[in-house]
C-alpha cells in the first residue's frame, strides 16, 4: 500500500511517495500460549537508507515474575545511511498492571522483612500514602534488576559499535530510576519525560511518556536537536471504536528524531553547515504487532 496505493486517499496524495522497504523478523520477539509478536523495520530507500543485516537477540532474562515486567527480545537492524553505519535496536518493554490486593501483599511482605516478623503491628498503623511509596520503591527495584540483563546482553553484542539507537516502547518515562543504567552507559533520550507519547479517542493529548529514542554518545553528536511526537491523522473511520467507528490506529504515537548522516561534518563542523540528515521514527502498536500462533 505504501508503494502502490489502492486506497483513495493514498492515490490522491500528491507529495513524494518514496520507495518503501521492510524487514520482518523471522522469529517472534515474544510468544505465549495465545499469540506471537513480531518486530519489523520499515524504511524509505529513497533517502539512501540500506538495511545491511538484521537479527534477533535472544535473552533468557526477559520476564520478571515479581514485577510483571516483560522485556521482549530486541530486534537489531544494521543500517547504512550514506556515510553512516548505524545499529537500530527495536525494543518493547511491557508493564503488566497489578491488582490492589497484590500490591498490598507485596507491601506486607516487605514489612515482614523490614520489621523482622512484626508485620502485624506495623501494617495496622501504616497509612495508604506510605504503602504506595513502599510499593513504588519495590517496583523500581524490580524494574532496575529486570533491565540490567538486557543492557548487559546489548553491550556484549554491540561492543564494537559506536552509533547505536535504542527505540521503541519502554513502558516508563525516561527520568525513571529504571533507566539509570542506560544513562550510566552514555545513552540519552530525545523525548522529555513531560512529553506524552500515548493517545486515545477520549484523551487525544495523552497522559504518559512511554515511548522514546535513546542515542549512544556518538549518535548524540549527530543529533540535530529536532525531535517530536506525531498526533495528527492517527484515526480512521474504518477502525472500530467500541460500538462505533473512528478509532485510533494505535494507542502509541509515532515519535521521531533527526540525525546528521555525514559523520565528519557533524562532529567537526558547526551543525548548521551539515547538509544531510535522516529521520529515525518509531511507532509501537500492541494491537498491530501481534500475529496469532
Give 229-264 pLDDT, tens digit per residue.
999 999 988 899 989 999 999 999 999 999 998 765
* Residue 107 predicted with pLDDT over 50: no
* Residue 189 predicted with pLDDT over 70: yes
Mean pLDDT of 98-122: 43
Residue 186 sits in a domain whose CATH number is 3.60.10
Q: What is the pLDDT of residue 265?
A: 46
pLDDT tens-digit map of 138-153: 454 444 456 788 889 9
* Within-domain flag for 24: yes
- Contact of 201 with 246, CB cutoff 8 Å: yes
191: which DSSP letter?
S
Distance, in Å, from the CA atom of 11 to the CA atom of 211, rounded to the nearest integer, reads 31
Mean pLDDT of 33-60: 91
Q: What is the pLDDT of residue 67?
A: 56
* Within-domain flag for 131: no
Distance, in Å, from the CA atom of 224 to the CA atom of 278, rounded to the nearest integer, reads 10
* Within-domain flag for 154: no
**Higher per-residue pLDDT: 144 or 77:** 77
* Within-domain flag for 104: no
Owning domain of residue 224: 8-95+162-292
3-state secondary structure of 244: strand
Residue indicated by cell numbers 523490614: 114
Q: What are phi and psi of 274, to 5 degrees?
A: -75, 135
Distance, in Å, from the CA atom of 175 to the CA atom of 186, rounded to the nearest integer, reads 14
* Residue 36 predicted with pLDDT over 60: yes
Grade residue 283 by pLDDT with cuts at 50, 70 and 90: low
**Higher per-residue pLDDT: 68 or 27:** 27
Query: How many residues belong to the chain?
Result: 293
Domain tally, the chain: 1
Grade residue 100 by pLDDT with cuts at 50, 70 and 90: very low
Q: Is 246 left (phi over 0), alpha (psi -120 to 50) or beta?
A: left
Residue indicated by cell numbers 543500517: 79
Q: What is the pLDDT of residue 193?
A: 97
Q: Is 116 left (phi over 0), alpha (psi -120 to 50) or beta?
A: left
Distance, in Å, from the CA atom of 68 to the CA atom of 208, rounded to the nearest integer, reads 19
The mean predicted confidence, pLDDT, of the chain is 78
* Within-domain flag for 232: yes
Question: Helices marked H in the chain — which ranges?
Answer: 8-12, 100-114, 119-125, 128-157, 180-184, 217-222, 263-268
pTM of the model: 0.75
DSSP string, 154-181: HHHHTTT-S-EEEEEE-SS-TTSGGGHH
Mean pLDDT of 74-87: 95
Q: What is the pLDDT of residue 60?
A: 61
Amino acid at each position: 500500500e505504501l508503494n502502490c496505493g489502492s486506497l483513495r486517499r493514498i492515490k490522491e496524495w500528491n507529495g513524494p511517495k518514496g520507495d518503501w522497504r521492510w524487514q520482518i523478523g523471522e522469529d517472534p520477539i515474544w510468544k505465549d500460549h495465545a499469540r506471537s509478536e513480531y518486530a519489523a523495520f520499515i524504511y524509505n530507500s529513497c533517502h539512501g537508507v540500506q538495511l545491511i543485516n538484521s537479527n534477533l537477540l535472544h535473552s533468557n532474562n526477559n520476564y520478571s515474575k515479581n514485577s510483571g515486567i516483560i522485556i521482549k527480545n530486541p530486534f537489531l537492524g544494521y543500517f547504512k545511511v550514506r556515510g553512516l553505519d548505524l545499529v537500530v535496536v527495536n525494543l518493547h518493554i511491557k508493564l503488566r498492571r497489578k491488582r490492589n490486593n497484590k500490591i498490598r501483599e507485596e507491601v506486607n511482605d516487605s514489612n515482614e522483612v523490614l520489621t523482622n516478623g512484626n508485620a502485624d503491628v506495623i501494617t495496622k498503623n501504616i497509612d495508604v500514602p506510605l504503602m504506595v511509596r513502599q510499593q513504588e520503591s519495590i517496583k523500581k527495584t524490580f524494574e532496575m534488576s529486570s533491565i540490567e540483563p538486557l543492557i548487559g546482553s546489548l553491550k556484549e553484542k554491540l561492543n564494537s559499535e559506536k552509533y547505536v539507537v535504542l527505540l521503541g516502547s519502554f513502558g516508563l518515562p525516561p527520568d525513571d530510576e529504571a533507566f539509570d543504567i542506560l544513562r550510566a552507559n552514555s545513552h540519552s533520550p530525545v523525548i522529555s519525560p513531560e512529553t506524552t507519547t500515548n493517545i486515545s479517542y477520549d484523551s487525544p493529548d495523552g497522559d504518559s511518556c512511554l515511548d522514546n529514542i535513546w542515542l549512544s554518545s556518538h549518535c548524540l553528536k549527530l543529533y540535530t536537536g529536532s525531535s517530536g511526537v506525531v498526533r495528527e491523522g492517527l484515526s480512521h473511520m474504518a477502525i472500530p471504536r467500541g460500538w462505533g467507528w473512528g478509532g485510533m490506529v494505535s494507542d502509541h504515537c509515532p515519535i521521531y528524531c533527526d540525525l546528521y548522516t555525514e559523520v565528519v561534518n557533524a562532529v567537526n563542523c558547526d551543525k548548521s553547515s551539515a547538509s544531510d540528515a535522516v529521520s529515525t521514527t518509531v511507532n509501537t502498536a500492541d494491537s498491530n504487532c501481534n500475529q496469532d500462533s
